[in-house]
Chains A and B, each alone.
Chain A
Amino acid sequence: MRVLVTGGAGRLGSEVVKQIASRGDSAVAFDLPQVSWEAVKGVPGVDLLPGDVTDGKQVSEAIKGIDAVIHLAALLPPRSESNRELTMRVNVKGTAKIVEAIGSTGASLIFASSVATYGITAMEEPPVLTSHPLQAHDCYSESKIKAERLIRDSGVDHVTLRIAPIAVADLVELPETIPYRGDQRVELIYVEDAARALLSALYESEATGKTFIIAGGPTWRMTGAEYIQRFYDALGVEVEPRFSDEYTAVDWYDTSQGLFLGYQGLNFNGFLGMLKALGEQLGLR
């Protein structure tokens, strides 16, 4: 199987292409020429294809000989909020170009949507169910809702994954403002598990035509303040985080419908163990 991964040089995309290649399939990492390609350069079984999802000609070329597309390319917050027109062009029209190019080729589409599509749910009883109504609250969530809709209406074979915020076991600098409240429920997902979910959605025929929430599971459910505290404690760094004053679109999720995808590999303590090892390696502990 030959799989095109848009956004294939990014944090999640690079993990996806590596997992595809490690299964013995071939992956094409499609991403903007100006991004860093370091993570995917020289990986056996991975072809690099610089391009732009908003360019129909480039997308049509990229799709030739492809059996499936994992579509991750998108403008993410906070950048997505500074230019609505650009966000819609990349996240919605870019998706339309992918769908058009797939056309009648018979290729299937795995779409990386977001739990942000559920809007601000902090005042509701948890967990958020897959069937929860969608509510656009910013440019990003609006763009993802529109992209989901156009894929559904296209008739292309697809799976939609509404993915929780991604956690990486790496030194992540504390932003000026943490993008959630300290007392807010949060549930993230480890990057390799999110990649595994995307692959399972591709290979499990039972997933076709369905929508799933992809999040870390029970051990990843905590408050925003707990998450930040435990993350930086594990790294061995004292921080003084400043949390958002407003609730944001992160919550606890019901992931039971997608459990058959078998992607929840790392529990939160395992994640902390990786951070501790990293902290030692970096000389922070």
Chain B
Amino acid sequence: MMRQALFLALQSVRWYRWRTLTIVLSLSLALWLPITVRLLLLQFRTDITARANFTPLVVGAAGSRTDLVLHALYLDTPAPAATTMAEAEYIQQTGFATAIPLHIRYRTQSAGGAPGVPIVGTSLEYFDFRGLRVREGQMFSVLGECVLGAAAAHRLGLRPGDTILSAPRNVLSLAGDYPLRLSITGVLAATHSADDYVVFTDSKTAWVIDGIGHGHQNLTQATEDDLLLSRDSDSITASAAVLPYTEITPENIDSFHFHGEPGTFPLTAVIAIPESEKSRTLLLGRYGTERSLTQCLKPPEVVDDLLRIVFRAEQLVLISSLVMGVITVMLLTLVLSLSLRLREAEMQTMFRLGCSRATIGMLFGAEIVLMLTAATILALVAAWLTRLIAAESLRTLLF
């Protein structure tokens, strides 16, 4: 009997196709929204916690915990208050952990119609730590070289052998952060993480962009007068016409030097990789007692705090979806009851021919089940497609 009921129900939903389509689409939309929100948030949670769980400790200047951790994890959030290279040296000296410096204050200039991407100054340990390998070309080896994340290379349309300019943080800055032309030596293999969307260079190159290190023409008695403010037998005073180099080449690399103590050079964060659980605890203890101007954070804890807020927002979205769903179901109930009233004659005919009221109920029930099934399948497929399409956008939001 069920087969016959399904046959009649199928014929009916085909015949009343516009009514069926309206009901199925309405139900699908009502189901799609909460399912999609749930899937995307699960994806968000998976992405964000996976990277946090893989990053043991983050050290940086005292301030917002969330800003510091997100900055160290996703490499593109606003730079928190600067710490210094001394912090990385301190961590190394404790012997508890390997310190990986991060300097993320600059972006590249736009290229290939795409906006600039962050420039991450770090050490080679970062690449081992994140499991990054060069897909094309080779790793940077001297000052002024860089490698691109896979997505960054794609967006900017650049490959090894090309160059890219850094963008000054402030166009009105007269103090030194001139654009530096970086030579691209390699492109990293894609990891579908924040590392794909940035340019990596050595910390020292980042400090050159910062204006802390620079190279310039040596001033000699032979230097042309228009480059000098004054010249006497003992000294030569250069004018502003003597510019720092904006590109580090084999010819000028030897002239590059840094002013100041290396320990004072700025970093925006340090990733600490403890040797063991005990080392981790001891390092955290040190930061709890000895380093009041800095903080040592466990990224999973900070991310959990963040997710609690996000998932509170999710509850609101789900409640709104539920209310919308109830309204939709009420409206559909009204539509269906009006539709049944219009089909009263059909029901009467079936009854007169010898059909039981229970069977008639089964026929109409089968129609509702068919529409519900179609709506559920449609909603699930749409949610799955949305997740596929939105996953990349979600990563872009994160990274």
A is bound by B: no
Residues on B close to A: CB < 8 A? Answer: none
